[in-house]
Structures are given as C-alpha cells and as structure tokens.
Chains A and B, each alone.
Chain A
C-alpha cells in the first residue's frame, strides 16, 4: 500500500498507471469484460454496446470541453455525420468496417474543424450557441439531402463486414466496440502526456497567456475540435452499425445534452470521468425503467404516472449530483481510493 508519492524519474511521474497493481487490475478487468457475451442476454449486450459507444463520444467531448475548455453542443451533429458517412461507405461502396470506421471519423473530424472556425472569435456560451447552430444545420442537411441520406425516412446500413465475416449480432458488435473503446481511452489518456495535450490544457486555463507563451491558439483549438469530432464520428459510425437504420431522429439535441451531462457528472477534464459518466448516464434510464416496471406490478393504476416519473427522477438525479458532487464521479472515486489508501490515518 502506498503511503506517499515517491517518484524518481520523469517517466514514472508521467506514467499512466501509477503502480503495477493498477495496471494489472485494468488489464484483468478488460479480459473479464471480454467474457461477458457468454452469459449475457441480447438486450444487456446491447446496453453494454451502447455504453461503449457513449463512452467513446464522451471521451471526445471531454477532450474538447474538459481539456480545451470549448463548450460544444454540436456532438449529436458530428455523430450524425459519422453515421451517415458510414452508411454511404458501407452501403454504397461496400467497404469493410476497418476502413469505414476510421474514414467516418475523419469525415466527422473535418466537419468538426469547419464548425470549429467560430472558436477563433467566440468564447464560452456564445461558442456553445454557434455549435448549437451547427447541430441544426446538420439536421436540416440530413433531412433534405435525400440522395445521400435518405431524408427523413432514413437509410439502412448493412451489417459490418470484413471479407467473409459479418458482425451480425450484438455479441459480435461487442467484440468490436469494447476493444475500440479501450484503445481510444488509452489514446486519450496518452494525448495529455504529449505536447498537443498540454497545449489544450493551456488554452483552457488561460488562452491569452498561452498565446503569449507561443502556443498557436487558433490552430490548437481547431485541432481539438478535429480530434474530438473524430472520436464522436467513430461513435456515430458504431451507432450506425448497431442500429442498422438511421434517420435524423436518431440524433436529436437531447443526445448532445446527455453527452454533456456525462462529461460533467463524470468529472470535467478527466478521462476516467468520461467513462464513469457514460456508464452512469446509460444505466440510469435502464434502472429507472426496471424500477417503474416492478412498481407497475404493484400499482397498476399509476402506470400513466410512471412515464413522467422516469423523466423527473432522471432530471432530479442530475440536479442532485451537480449540487452535491460538483466535481463529478471521478473526484468522488479518487476520494474513496484515498480514504482506503490512508486508512486508518485519513485526515
């Protein structure tokens, strides 16, 4: 058990896993995760897939909002871009998924950089509104560019394929989503050990000083939009494969708000926080649904009350979280770990 910080080299100071124990625990967790499809039902596999997709999107948003300080509500739009790009590439060009997913991410990154241009002039809430505009513009394009997107009727995506292999069901998708999420988490975590990542954090903390110090703020802001949108585009691409048919209704503004909630509740500016937030926000509606359907068994006459109850409790949980745990789940997790580390000498 560690009782202090005794680093003796820069490499140790910057390490992602501070102790061998945490490294092996993480690897063990991932291996155990891979065994889940053996005994989980199709529905719960779908839930875990959605958690993985949400985690990737939350990681992307975290890079932009948590680390670079640019509030963005355009997430749903960039997910849509990634999803439609995948639909076009897989459906019309028949490309295999190892090509469509990265390419969709790149297309979304390009879109993100275009819509990130206002960040040159705008800050804070004004920038958030400009990204909101991006959302509605993309939604409008998706609904009207019938040739490319199928318009409001949506477009269907053939199952992900690689040569003769087809990822036709949730278990197969699981083996695509989880490793991808793990890899992207590692990438994000690593990003902040590099120069680019530190430039992002400098911009968040005080961008004028950063500029003075030699960080080219506009270029790095655009890069942040690009990287973040790449993540979100990949998430959108996976959504396309998972949902099999997408339409503009799959990407409403509430999706962007939910992802923002994930990042904030998880802990702004922390990679772990994005993961916690994604798990929390995806599981919460499921738990509420199970709870209300159990209660419906005992109080059948109150069924019409349960639907607003679900929304209400959801909102209430968010509100309570923000009031009592403003630094997010990651901070609380850190406090819990510290408590156990120092037990019984906590102070």
Chain B
C-alpha cells in the first residue's frame, strides 16, 4: 500500500510539470485551433535562457533571471506568431502542424548552435532536502511546480471566464470571422495566446531544469510526451489539461511500478498511449473537450 501511495504521490507531482506544458498547448489551441508541436522547444529554450542569464558575466539572482526569461518568452511568442503563424491563417490544419514541427527543428538547432549539446549544470536553486508529506519525500522543485500549476489553473480559469481578453480568445476560437465582425482584433488575440503559451512553458522548463540539475536538449522531447495529456484532457479545456497531466503522471508511475517488472521495462512510455486510445473510443473529444458539432 505504501508503494502504491508513493507512486501516486510521485505521479501527481511529476504530472504537474506535464500539466504546465499542456496548458501552453491548450491556450494556443483555444484561440487559434493550432496544435503547436514546438511547445517542447519553448520549454527547453526557457530553461537555457534562464541558465544563460544566471551564468552570464553579470551574475543575476534566480528571481531576476526567472522574470527576464519570462519577458524573453513573451517576445519569442510574439515573434513566432508574427513571422510564422500569421501567413498560415486559413491553411489546412495539417500544414500548420507541419510548420510547427519545422519550427521546433529550427529552435532546437539554434539552441544547439549557441549552447552546444553538453548537459549544462543548473545552479542549485531549490535546496536538495526533500520535503516530507507524511511518509513521502517530495523534492522541493516539484512542490513549486504543483503550486504553480494550482495557481495557474485558478488564474486561467478566471481569465477565460471573466476578463475581456479571455472572453475575446474564446470568441476567436469559436469563429474568427464573427469575432472580427464584433471588433475583436484577432491578430492581437493570437499574439497574446502565443505569448502566454511561451511563458507557461518557460516556467515549466525552468522548474524542470532546476529539479533535474542539468539542462540539455532532451527537454524538447517533452513536447511529444505531453500530446497525449492534451488529447486526453480535451484540446480546448484548461481543466482538462491539468487533470490530464496529473492522471497521465499517475498512470505512468503506476504502470512503471507494477507492469515494468512483468514486461521487462518500457511500459511506462506506452501505457499513456494505450490508455489514450481506450479513453478516446469512449469520449472522442477527450475528457473535457468541447464536442464539435458539425453542420453539413
């Protein structure tokens, strides 16, 4: 029982990072119906930039570096939206997906060119002493990620429900043309959503770098790992992203703990996808996704 509970707790904690990245996916999808496969690269870029700022010739404390990285992410989101995504308005969805895949390759190459492929050690930000939740040790970095996820969940929930930009985003996602005719600047909405997504991923990347102790190119793989999370939760649901992230985290840990010895390993990676297919057969738009009503 202890084993089980520990796995669950660890799953929640690890899943919170997935949820952060998934949030980025969802925000972009909610406003522009694009699945941005470069999200993992935003994560990696956030971690590298933070590291670069902290280790630069004028050493900067972590909090300042954190905020600077967020500012950089806003700029990155705006730039990418303007340069790459604006021309793709109206193109079929699959072309846009391919574009984001191409963008992810470009971003990865830029990171490798500037920082190389070595694993760069991340300075100790959180004390290594784990906090004990009852009998379960949890590293402090992960606690921060659970905390930030909770805060962001509430923040985004309120944002999309009550604030003007949030409602404008939902309107744009529903129908760009109607939103335009209502006076909403669709271009600004896209820019805003990409910036938010970049910021959220950067937070995830920094936390992940701090927890792992090192930053390297493998952080980008998270983009692909988080896609089942997003699909499971529903592509346009913030709550779904967060619950999806946590459930996938729990599922991975449980299947790793119980099924790995049976199958000789590797189940941890496949299990989320198998679960995904099964759930999609029952709920084709994900657990909380909006059901698309097609009119002929």
Contacts and interface: CB of A to CB of B under 8 A. Distances in A.
Direct contact of A and B (CB under 8 A): yes
Contacts of A132: 227-228, 273
Contacts, number: 133
> Which one of B105, B112, B274 has the greatest number of beta carbons of chain A within 10 Å?
B105
Interface stretch (A83-91, A220-228, A308-316): A308-316
Interface in B246-285: 263-264, 266-267, 269-270, 273-274, 276-277, 280-281, 284-285
> Which one of A206, A261, A304, A319 has the greatest number of beta carbons of chain B within 10 Å?
A319
Contact of A319 (B84, B116, B277): B84
Contact of B112 (A144, A308, A316): A308
B94 A65 contact: yes
Nearest to B270: A140
Dominant secondary structure at the B interface: helix
Nearest to B29: A125
B99 interface: yes
Contact of A309 (B103, B109, B292): B109
Interface size class on chain A is 35 or more
Given A133-B273, A304-B116, A315 B296 contact: no
Interface string A203-238: 000101100100000000000000000000000000
B207 interface: no
B93 A126 contact: no
B176 to A, nearest CB: 17
Interface string A243-268: 00000000001000100110011001
Contacts of B95: 264, 268, 322, 326
A137 B105 contact: no
Nearest to B91: A326
Interface size class on chain B is 35 or more
B106 interface: yes
Nearest to B269: A136
A310 B91 CA distance: 27
Contacts of B231: 125-126, 129
Interface in A275-311: 304-305, 307-311
B88 interface: yes
Given A133-B228, A311-B105, 8 more contacts: A125-B93, A132-B227, A140-B266, A143-B266, A144-B263, A264-B98, A305-B113, A322-B99
Interface of A: 65, 71, 118, 121-126, 129-130, 132-134, 136-137, 139-140, 143-144, 206, 208-209, 212, 253, 257, 260-261, 264-265, 268, 304-305, 307-319, 322-324, 326
